Amino acid sequence: MLTHLNVWRGVTKANIFCSPLSELNGKNVKGTTSPLPEICSAESSRSSFQPPGSDERDGTSRAREPRVLRAAVSGITEILRAFSPERKIPPDPPIITEKEILVIDQVVDALREDYARSYFLTGEFLDSLYTEDCLFADPTIQFSGRDLYRRNLKLLVPFYEDPSLTLESIQQDEDGDSKFVETSWKLRVYIKLPWRPFIAVDGRTKYSLNAENKIVEHVESWNVTAIEALGQIFKPSERALWKTSKS
């Protein structure tokens, strides 16, 4: 989700929460939904979780949404800059022993292991699963680059408190000549800001494979819109410092 506001390059920390994706170097994604970004897409529809037609909106609301997202992301960016833990770069994640992936069943098994490592939240995943220029996308942004994806995930780690990523299902499928693996998952995490916002997103990720069974696209969808996901960041939780200090 996750995710899920970091553009520490330009990596405006705002990208941290539109998803585990961040540092932008591509265009916005259309027709997908996911958690926490820089400039968000006007096409932040609800995702495959919604019944057909449930996200129909008039032209006025569609035009208004990008402005709202930009304002929200801009505010989150400044907040995260203010509370950034000395802007220290987290240490590299432990090196995962590389494996030769030959068949799609091995892709499924390796993804199970990566979910067990909560890779959205730790940056610990198997490099050899992905092509170097793999496309990473969510409802708000897209960019290419496996190493960039890992770097973005690592930058978010200091902001997480009690992170949890649960794999709900995983299956492989084909659509004509296209092969893919699809997962459903639940992400839960508190963010280390004074009001300790709680991020809760249920999502899906589609991993599209090439002829060598390498992942060439990693595309997320969420059960909430980008605006709803961003809104979670502004909502105080029961762990807000002013609440816990009274107990």
**What's the mean per-residue pLDDT of the chain?**
76
- The confidence band for 11, taking pLDDT boundaries of 50, 70 and 90, is very low
Judged on CB neighbours under 10 Å (0-12, 13-18, 19+), 175 is: exposed
> From CA 22, how far away is CA 6, in angstroms rounded?
5
Six-digit token string for 172? 């492989």
Give pLDDT tens digits for 123-173: 999 999 999 999 999 877 789 999 999 998 988 899 999 999 999 999 999
Give mean pLDDT, residues 84-95: 55
Give mean pLDDT, residues 86-93: 53
Judged on CB neighbours under 10 Å (0-12, 13-18, 19+), 122 is: buried
Q: Domain spans of the chain?
A: 2-51+59-244
Give mean pLDDT, residues 94-100: 63
Please tell me the predicted confidence (pLDDT) of residue 176.
87
Radius of gyration over alpha carbons of the chain, in Å?
17
Out of 1.10.287.70, 3.40.50.2300, 3.10.450.50, 3.20.19.10, select the CATH number for domain 2-51+59-244: 3.10.450.50
Please tell me the predicted confidence (pLDDT) of residue 41.
38
